[in-house]
Amino acid sequence: MARGARIAVGVTATALVLAAGGYAAADVTDTVPDWLAPWAPGWVTLEPPPPTPAPFPTPDLTPAPDAAPVVGALDPDAPLPSADAVAALAASVAGDRRLGTSTSVVVADVLTGEVLADVAGSVPQTPASTTKLFVAVAATTALGPDRTLATRVVRTGPGAITLVGGGDMLLGAGAGVPEAVNGRAGLADLAAATARALAADGVTQVTLALDDTLFAGPRLAPGWEESYIRYVAPISALAVDAGRTSRHPYAVRHADPALEAARTFAGLLAAEGVAVTGAPVRRAAPADAVEVAAVRSATIRELVRYTVQESDNTIAEVLGRLVALERGEPATFEGATRAVLAEVAAQGVDVTGTAIRDCSGLHTASVIPARVLVDLVVRVAQPGRPELLPVAVDLPISGWQGTLADRLRGGPAWGLVRAKTGSLPGVTSLAGTLLTQEGRLLAFAVLADATGASGQDRPRAALDAFVAELAAVPSAPSGDAG
């Protein structure tokens, strides 16, 4: 039905409903106009009253279960794009001047794993935030999608309590917001629960310590630019709003997010009637300290989704440290990167040529070959790996979500791409899946790490044009093995 017809039908239906409503009101007051009389014999005033209707059944208000993420089954009969056409596109974008002088491109069929194009795919290149694909897979497999992170208060002596960080750097300063990821667990809720527990024991005054020993080593990676403080916080075992000093997404971060969170908590305790003597101090809590109260973060699945859709550098680093702890590594930058690489390799991905210096992709010394990223994406998106399905499903969708919300809109790839972006000065990258217009799911990666000082607009335009053309590439002619 044409759009105009749909509008016309909608207007007509609305008019009829309004007319019926007006007639009902008029009939009740015996004021039906003469011109309506032949068709309206007085449904209310002139006819016998209808029988009393049965009571309306009470609706079942049981909440529906959360829908599990699913994607359509891959159709083995969907036409495979012409390898020659895909290779030609890859060669063209690799030589596009807007992407500079160092570009690698790999495209593969997800169902079969067949590589359709490879331009310098084994050359290690700066990946930027496509590194977060490694973290997403490692966190999902090592930690499990349903785990949450606890921020706790424990007793450490008479009139002494300790705030213990469990890795949640997305605490809310106020009450928790159940539907949020950033702010799911609220310090105000923790303070209220703590105050109730203390009041039950007659305690109205305490000293407050901070235990943020879950993570170790430097809180900023050696080699990060000083300007990155707007894009990543010092990595800590707890923080409010990823350590931001204001609500702006690129606000400067607190130099000590964990201690700032402890100070906020002390103020909230005071508001609940519990006086805090002195300023919070750092002190590790005994392992057997009794828990007073706790709040819990969003799930790992939700944290991974938040990380890849918002390209959140801080939470990527947190997830890497949690993977390190799970694999028996120290919760440092070095331990996290070793653990993440080992976890990805354990999924069967050949990580030859890969060397990552952080988990966010901010470090310019990190390198990943495009071939490795495509191999990872193929394994994530292939049938038979339901435990990895969330990683494939939760990547930003072109023209709709996260860092792809404003890209690839209106063309043949609109809504058909799930991919992770990557951006650093002189670096533009994109890796993920693409459903062709003929129904074939492809994995692709494009890494360009010598784009110069032109900014991101021109390289992204070149990359997006390639992806759009790839979505529309024709299948191989009948009988053509290529």
Q: Which residues are known to be catalytic?
A: 129, 132, 311
Rounded CA-CA distance 454/447 in Å is 16
| 204, two tokens | 């109205």
What residues pair up with 68 in beta bridges, in sequence order? none
One-letter amino acid for residue 187 of the chain:
L
- CA 369 vs CA 109, 110, 131, 340, 448: distances in Å: 18, 18, 11, 16, 11
Measured between alpha carbons, how far is 15 from 3 in angstroms, rounded to an integer? 18
Q: List, in order, residues 6 or more apart from 337 with CB less than 8 Å away.
A: 320, 356, 357, 358, 359
Amino acid at 321: R
Helix, strand, or coil here: 467?
helix
Question: Rounded CA gap, 428 and 407, in Å?
Answer: 14
CA-based angle 330:334:337, to the nearest 5? Answer: 100
At residue 360, φ and ψ (nearest 5 deg) are: -100, -25
> How far is 229 from 247, CA to CA, in rounded Å?
15
Secondary structure of residue 274 in the 3-state scheme: coil
What's the N-to-C CA distance of the chain in angstroms? 40
Q: Edge-to-edge strands of the sheet including 441-448?
A: 115-119, 103-109, 441-448, 427-435, 417-424
Helices (H) and strands (E) in the chain, counts: 11, 15
| Beta strands 427-435; 417-424: pairing state | antiparallel
- The DSSP secondary-structure symbol of 30 reads T
Q: At what angle do helices 132-143 and 333-346 cross, to 10 degrees?
A: 70
Distant-in-sequence, close-in-space partners of 83: CB < 8 Å, separation ≥ 6: 116, 117, 476, 482
Q: Is 93 helix (H, G, I), strand (E, B) or coil?
A: helix
**Hunting for tokens 């305690």 — which residue is that?**
203
